[in-house]
Structure 1
Amino acid sequence: MANKCQKEKPRQEDFSLKETNPNISARRATTLDLVEKMQFLFVRVVKAKDLSSNSDDCCCVVPCCNPFVEVRIGALVGTTRSLEKTVNPEWNQDFAFAKDKIQASVLEILVQDKCVEDNKDVFIGKLVFLVNDVPMRVSPNSPLAPEWYKLEDHNGVKLTQGELMVSVWMGNQADEAFPHAWHSDSATGTDHATNTRSNVYHSPRFWYLRVYVIQAQNLLLKGKSGGGNLELFVKAVLGNLASRSRPVKICQNPVWNEDLMFVVAEPFDELLILSIEVGDHHKHENIGRCVLPLKNVERRMDDTLVESVWCNLENPNSDEGRLHVRASLDGGYHVLDEVTHYSSDFRPSSRSLSQPSVGVLELGILNAVGLSPMKKENRVDTYCVAKYGPKWVRTRTIVDNRCPKWNEQYTWEVFDPCTVITVMVFDNGQLQEGKPAEDKRMGKVRIRLSTLETGRIYTHSYPLISLSNQGVKKMGEIQLAVRFSCSSLLNVLQTYAQPLLPRMHYICPLSIFQLDSLRNQAAAITTLRFMRKEPPLGKEVVEYMLDVRENVWSMRRGRAQFHRIVDLLSVLVFICKWVKLVYSWKSSATTIAGYIFFLWVIFCPQMILVTIFTSLFLLGIWRYITRPRHPSHMDIQFSYAHTVTNEELEEEFDTFPTRFSGNDLKKKYDRLRGISGRVLAVISDLTTQGERVQSLLTWRDPRATSLFVVFCFFAAIVTYTVPFRFMISGLVAYSLRPPRVRGIAGIPAIPQNFLRRMPARSDGML
């Protein structure tokens, strides 16, 4: 009875990566060899002529009809847009019906008249096709030519007036009509058809705009020299972005010599406005400005200085003020819009500096299973977005299906194998009635190309992991097929000897703060550009893809990074434990064997490198047997998402600036101060130890430095007269003496005591 009363344990989520065996051809001779072939019945409705509305069925009296076409096969219905008051309409719309969902043998194409006044559709005519008689078209054969057909009435009798031009054929995903067609599994009407189609997007080509502000002359400063807190600075405005130089003391000819950086996108049709401001932290006013069109700014590919110019300031009170600047569009950098650790592109902005491609990446987005419902009535309307380099792809939206099948294949050129492709799954929020909502994220997959074997097809089911305010949750699984191929393995191997980023990043490096600010600018420009596409990619999609919140404070990520460092230092910890075991004489055999090994290294130094490289060679051969067979994927344990608390999640997903106030904000701030204090203490200890080593020869402690100098003098004599191998052997033998002949256990050694007494710069810290 007690066992029955116990609550059942919640089912443990499986976040592992699974290898799959999809039904794909995997042959390069075919167009779609990484996805499962899907048959579609395509219907292209082109136009009609000589239509006439049946006035007996309609109470409204109009000189012309408002025709539209309804394509019906069983329960699947697609509708064109309605054209007003015309008897010769043109639609040019395509429809695609998945063959596995077709449950009827007859295709009906109805031409109807939309009567606006009584909200009634009037039948004009129809066409009937048998599904079994529809011809099959295999790409890359030419498309089927549309044909004029006489309309029929309800009884199948040809009408004397009215014809419709259509074409009907069977095809697959390789058909050119597939991307822009209305799909029966994507929508039930024409209102949201645009938001469900598959599309390809390209990020704008970014450049860095560098504005070097040098100085100003002949500024009009009447009545402004008396303020003690007044300062001068230069404000640069580009579109909706603004940056300002450091403030300088007020004078007629101020000097700044400072860089202001922006991200700009082709075509360069914007204006850069430079203004000189005078005031304090709270209030300032403009005393002159100048305008620089970006199309007139000089482009440079290296660190060669461009010519500086004097710009006359627009000031209603004076015509003598001018500003000295040096502006350039730097095409030698790669404008980072992704995090460097998993970026998909490292090419410079200028096309002339780009290297040829080294391979091809092919991605097949097959299907998803077990998706969690995201809307009412357990609905989920999912689509995928994949990004590699500047090319973004979006699959069609599968409506109301928790196990959608996309089976869409895409291709990218690869310029560097040490890059990452990112695939995301979203729930489409634009299909709701009324006000559209944001698209909800369901998970993300990253695949590093360098971990893929050349020419091999990887077919795996990846877990979709979502981390939100409610915690970590598995939203389902997505099945992908990936292949990286290259024509020359030598070209791929040569990239490993080249710098990861373009040369300008090393010749004129940008600071970390500049890179973070410029990356946010690039993300903002990408968002604005993609919002103007049709269909648009929302802000939430771009930000999730580009990891805009990557540099936001997170307790969970901090803990994960700490354990990464611990794992990295595990080898050193193992060596230290082994040395301590030898030193402690817990096992006499281990201590003696270690001492013999040390003597062999000392007296046969020529074998040190041979032994190291031989060991590494054998270790590499041994680990080849246990090498990973699948790409890397999101790991919740490595990310410490399985132990995160609700309080930490609130802090991680908090906005910037924070939305908290009062006691909640005070509590979080106090906790952050406590953690930062411990981190600060560790940094202080490490810095203090380094400064103590430096102070051995700085004479800040004359007595200690005198002792160290004398020690160095005698040490030089001893090391000159005694052979190195005998000296080291004696020191090791002395250190490994048995514990019974040592001093008191736990007492630090003389060198430790001496070093800990050295002064550090922490004495001068306030």
Structure 2
Amino acid sequence: MAKPNQNQNQNPNAGSTDEFNLRETSPRLGGGRVPGNERFGTAFDLVEQMHYLYIRIVKARGLQSIKCINNSNNSDSLPDPYVEIKLGNFVANTKHFEKNCNPEWNQVLAYPKDRIQSLTLELNVRDKDNGEEEEDLIGGVSFDIVELPVRVPPDSPLAAQWYKLEKRMNEGELMVAVWMGTQADESFPDSWHLDSLSVSGDGVANIRSKVYLSPRLWYVRVHVIEAQELQVSNNRQTTDVVVKCAVMNMILKTKVCVKPLWNEDLMFVVAEPFEEQLGVTVEEKVGNREEVVGKCLIPLHNVEKRMDTRVVSSKWYNLEKHTRAENGEVNVVQLNSKIHIRVCLDGGYHVLDELTQYSSDLRATHRLLGTPSIGVLELGILNANGLTPMKTRNGRGAVDAYCVAKYGQKWIRTRTVIDSLNPKWNEQYTWEVFDPCTVITIVVFDNNHLQGVDNGGGAKDSRIGKVRIRLSTLETDRIYTHSYPLIVLQPSGVKKMGEIQLAVRFTCVSLLNLMQMYTQPLLPNMHYIHPLSVFQQDSLRHQATQIMAVRLNRAEPPLRKEVVEYMLDVGSSMWSLRKSKANYCRLIEVLSSVVSFCKWLHHICIWTNPVVTVLMHVMFLILVYNPQLIASFVLAYIIGIGILKYRSRSRHPPHMDIKLSYADRLNGDELDEEFDGFPSSKHGDVLKMRYDRLRSVGSRIQTVVGDVATQGERIQNLVTWRDPRATAMFLGFCFVLAAVMYVVPIRGVVVVVGLFVMRHPSLRNRLPSVPMNFFRRLPARTDGLL
């Protein structure tokens, strides 16, 4: 297949690659660390301080209806109270209670200080009569903004006080607390923000910031051994029997055996607390169908946990027969049949993250195998700029952005900033670090559930962009403040969706412990003692992702399936032509240093620069006659390269690189193929063309792999007598060389070989050398291929 012109494949949406680069910023970070709590940095010193007016409305007592005040005959009527918050032109209302003279609101309003346009805050308690749709003032309280107290954590929360309602008959009291604070206040996450006044119902819970803990995942290893006294159809002596094990909607089965003896392992993923049961079903194959012989249920909370390679004791389980009566009831019949199974919860592995491409936690599941923390990761999510509108609201583009960050078992979600293309979060979060060779993932989403879960209409939160930061690339105790491009690959091409500004700091507790981690195995020991097969890894990855999505979707507010799957890079292992090209370019870049060295040596040998070649002859002779200097020379050369590379080192964390991803050189058909589902939804000529292209790419890979295998087989066949004459010649040469090496000093042999390799071009022959001709004539196993 002809190589396409890269100029024609240039993505028109990519634009200039400079806009996809990382930019260092200088935000005004405030706060300062709290004395005595420097390690965890809870003083929000990685974000810009945002000042708010906090209004906490607790409750009221002794309220009377306006009708009761104006007319003594209506003494039995109760008010429908609510509180009106009035600050200049800003007016907001709390929820109202029907027929309640002692309502409790417990609502907190956070109003940005820079948007205050009045010196007086008014809190008016009003009576809402739904029958006549009229509103009346019961009484109110006013506050002078200048005189409000300022609360700075870790000060204790400001106590609410009772205030006598003014106006009317001076009936009733209102308990409130009003103060000035920042986003470090404990009331900030659950407060009622100005931009969320348009959100009602269940949607209010979907815009607040929350911290989630992912469930602890375990591997369930089911070793099916044998069965006895199976009651098969027609009492046959031999029959095909299979065992199926199921956890939730995941079903695995053993191989089919004539004798009920399997000795086969099946593995599942479950989450703590163990709500599921392990279902074991024995079935016999009768023709083209399978009939149930018996089944049993094993509660997982009774299964033994192990953290090493010890063998868990096996047990015999009685099988049951479940039949359905005519009235629909299920009858359970105890059978004499038994099945021999060994079940355990393997806690020596780490589930999910070690199966993904970007690991944020490498600790074993069992708590007793945990390691102490080596440091603290602090992340400040400042703001985003220039976000692309994701929806239309009131005839203009809008986006309701929030961030999700994941590291280890802790997931965080910022509050949703309503209808802003330049949202400001200024929220700070902290994680304990147990391994520096891990990655934190930050993703920006557009919230499409502002009207609650039930009214979402099946909408999904749209992805805006993703950022990954590897902790090992960060210097300790340094604050990194950069603006990261938010890049998304769409069917129309790669697109920049905006920028997100982050502040990151990795604090090391002990440098010795940090350096020691580099000498430890990357994964828990069980991954090396009892490694998982590729098929098991694919199956377990799918199970773990589904369980994680289900559990986090049950939180309030939920982290929905599309969010969890995007955070866990589901589908990243699917084949695409773009990824193949990107990995090929990465391989070429890695081998470029070897190629450069070979080219440099070739120029030395052909005397391209006689001065350099003579100097290399002198260096070569010095090293030959002083072999003790060879190791020192090589180490000094490596040290020199490291020192020269220090000045050109990267001074910022890694980010999404469209050039590295080969995303800026894609045509429409390649993008359409990458976004096509599995199995493919295409038909006809399109599918045929893509299949032919895949065969073309596969043929190149096949050729390269075959060439590498051929060279290895030729090396092996030097001594295997596949070509008797070639092997005899090679062994004879080895005998002569051994004799020469015994007689002639090794130094002389090396000098002769080195000078021969670097001989002058006038002494060279253009034909291949004798050793190369001999090697190319060696046989390989290609003759046996069909």
Whether the TM-score (by the shorter chain) exceeds 0.5 is yes
Give runs of aligned pairs for residues 193-342 of structure 1, distance below 5 A. Answer: 193-222=204-233, 231-245=240-254, 247-249=255-257, 251=258, 253-279=259-285, 283-315=289-321, 319-337=335-353, 342=358
Give runs of aligned pairs for residues 214-613 of structure 1, distance below 5 A. Answer: 214-222=225-233, 231-245=240-254, 247-249=255-257, 251=258, 253-279=259-285, 283-315=289-321, 319-337=335-353, 342-376=358-392, 377-431=396-450, 434-436=455-457, 437-613=459-635
Give the deviation of 1:205 after TM superposition. Answer: 1.0
Which deviates more from structure 2 when the two are superposed, residues 643-652 or residues 356-365? Answer: 643-652
Contact 2:87 2:118 (8 Å CA) reproduced: yes
Q: Given residue 251 of structure 2, which amino acid in structure 1 is its aligned partner?
A: A
Contact 1:105 1:130 (8 Å CA) reproduced: yes
Deviations 1:377-425 (A, max 9, x none): 1211111111111111111111111222111111111112222222111
Give the deviation of 1:547 after TM superposition. Answer: 0.8
Aligned partner of residue 551 in structure 1, secondary structure: coil
Structure 1 vs Structure 2: percent identity of aligned residues? 52
Q: Given residue 95 of structure 2, which amino acid in structure 1 is its aligned partner?
A: R
Contact 2:356 2:569 (8 Å CA) reproduced: no
RMSD value, Cα: 2.8
Q: Given residue 177 of structure 2, which amino acid in structure 1 is its aligned partner?
A: S
Q: Given residue 178 of structure 2, which amino acid in structure 1 is its aligned partner?
A: V
Change in CA separation of 1:333 and 1:763 when aligned onto 2, cut-off 3 Å: same
Give the deviation of 1:283 after TM superposition. Answer: 4.1
Contact 2:54 2:109 (8 Å CA) reproduced: yes
Give the deviation of 1:612 after TM superposition. Answer: 1.1
Give runs of aligned pairs for residues 19-168 of structure 1, distance below 5 A. Answer: 19-25=24-30, 27-29=32-34, 31-55=43-67, 63-116=77-130, 121=135, 123-152=137-166, 157-168=167-178
Alpha-carbon distance in structure 1 between the residues aligned to 2:746 and 2:55:
88
Say if 2:650 is the partner of 1:639. no
Give the deviation of 1:616 after TM superposition. Answer: 1.9
Deviations 1:273-320 (A, max 9, x none): 111233399743322222211111111111111111222222479934
Give the deviation of 1:527 after TM superposition. Answer: 0.9
Give runs of aligned pairs for residues 169-180 of structure 1, distance below 5 A. Answer: 169-180=179-190
Change in CA separation of 1:565 and 1:380 when aligned onto 2, cut-off 3 Å: same
Give the deviation of 1:263 after TM superposition. Answer: 1.3
Q: How many residue pairs align between the two structures? A: 746
Partner in structure 1 of residue 327 of structure 2: none
Aligned partner of residue 216 in structure 1, secondary structure: strand
Contact 1:77 1:188 (8 Å CA) reproduced: no
Alpha-carbon distance in structure 1 between the residues aligned to 2:291 and 2:129:
62
Query: Unpaired runs of 5+ in structure 2?
Result: 1-11, 36-42, 323-332
Alpha-carbon distance in structure 1 between the residues aligned to 2:125 and 2:610:
97
Change in CA separation of 1:332 and 1:141 when aligned onto 2, cut-off 3 Å: same
Partner in structure 1 of residue 785 of structure 2: 765
Change in CA separation of 1:692 and 1:135 when aligned onto 2, cut-off 3 Å: same
Which deviates more from structure 2 when the two are superposed, residues 465-474 or residues 297-306? Answer: 465-474
Change in CA separation of 1:24 and 1:338 when aligned onto 2, cut-off 3 Å: same
Q: Given residue 642 of structure 2, which amino acid in structure 1 is its aligned partner?
A: G
Q: Given residue 324 of structure 1, which amino acid in structure 2 is its aligned partner?
A: H
Contact 2:448 2:456 (8 Å CA) reproduced: no
Deviations 1:109-158 (A, max 9, x none): 23344444566555544333232232222222222222223334xxxx24
Q: Given residue 266 of structure 2, which amino acid in structure 1 is its aligned partner?
A: L
Change in CA separation of 1:523 and 1:338 when aligned onto 2, cut-off 3 Å: farther
Aligned partner of residue 571 in structure 1, secondary structure: helix
Alpha-carbon distance in structure 1 between the residues aligned to 2:163 and 2:288:
75
Change in CA separation of 1:95 and 1:717 when aligned onto 2, cut-off 3 Å: same
Aligned partner of residue 441 in structure 1, secondary structure: strand
Q: Given residue 753 of structure 2, which amino acid in structure 1 is its aligned partner?
A: L
Partner in structure 1 of residue 769 of structure 2: 749
Give the deviation of 1:18 after TM superposition. Answer: 1.7
Give the deviation of 1:578 after TM superposition. Answer: 1.7
Deviations 1:518-541 (A, max 9, x none): 222222111111111111111111
Contact 1:278 1:286 (8 Å CA) reproduced: yes
Aligned partner of residue 317 in structure 2, secondary structure: strand
Give the deviation of 1:242 after TM superposition. Answer: 1.8
Alpha-carbon distance in structure 1 between the residues aligned to 2:673 and 2:287:
30
Deviations 1:219-268 (A, max 9, x none): 333359799xx8533221101222222x234x2x3332222111111112
Q: Given residue 289 of structure 1, which amino acid in structure 2 is its aligned partner?
A: K
Contact 1:37 1:407 (8 Å CA) reproduced: yes
Alpha-carbon distance in structure 2 between the residues aligned to 1:57 and 1:686:
96
Say if 2:202 is the partner of 1:181. no
Alpha-carbon distance in structure 2 between the residues aligned to 1:401 and 1:75:
21
Contact 1:220 1:318 (8 Å CA) reproduced: no
Change in CA separation of 1:554 and 1:110 when aligned onto 2, cut-off 3 Å: farther
Contact 1:337 1:522 (8 Å CA) reproduced: no
Alpha-carbon distance in structure 2 between the residues aligned to 1:184 and 1:63:
34
Give the deviation of 1:327 after TM superposition. Answer: 1.1
Deviations 1:422-470 (A, max 9, x none): 2111111112695352111111112222222221211111111122212
Give the deviation of 1:481 after TM superposition. Answer: 1.3
Aligned partner of residue 137 in structure 1, secondary structure: coil
Aligned partner of residue 298 in structure 2, secondary structure: strand
Contact 1:339 1:546 (8 Å CA) reproduced: no
Change in CA separation of 1:113 and 1:262 when aligned onto 2, cut-off 3 Å: farther
Change in CA separation of 1:765 and 1:115 when aligned onto 2, cut-off 3 Å: farther
Deviations 1:42-88 (A, max 9, x none): 11111222334445999xx9954443333232344443333343332
Alpha-carbon distance in structure 2 between the residues aligned to 1:363 and 1:185:
24
Aligned partner of residue 628 in structure 1, secondary structure: coil
Give the deviation of 1:684 after TM superposition. Answer: 1.7
Give the deviation of 1:551 after TM superposition. Answer: 0.8
Contact 2:360 2:440 (8 Å CA) reproduced: yes
Give the deviation of 1:596 after TM superposition. Answer: 3.6
Aligned partner of residue 174 in structure 2, secondary structure: strand
Q: Indicate which of 727, 731, 734 corresponds to 1:712.
A: 734
Contact 1:466 1:475 (8 Å CA) reproduced: yes
Contact 2:199 2:450 (8 Å CA) reproduced: no
TM-score, structure 1 as length reference: 0.91
Alpha-carbon distance in structure 1 between the residues aligned to 2:407 and 2:379:
10
Contact 2:200 2:451 (8 Å CA) reproduced: no
Alpha-carbon distance in structure 1 between the residues aligned to 2:571 and 2:347:
27
Aligned partner of residue 342 in structure 1, secondary structure: coil
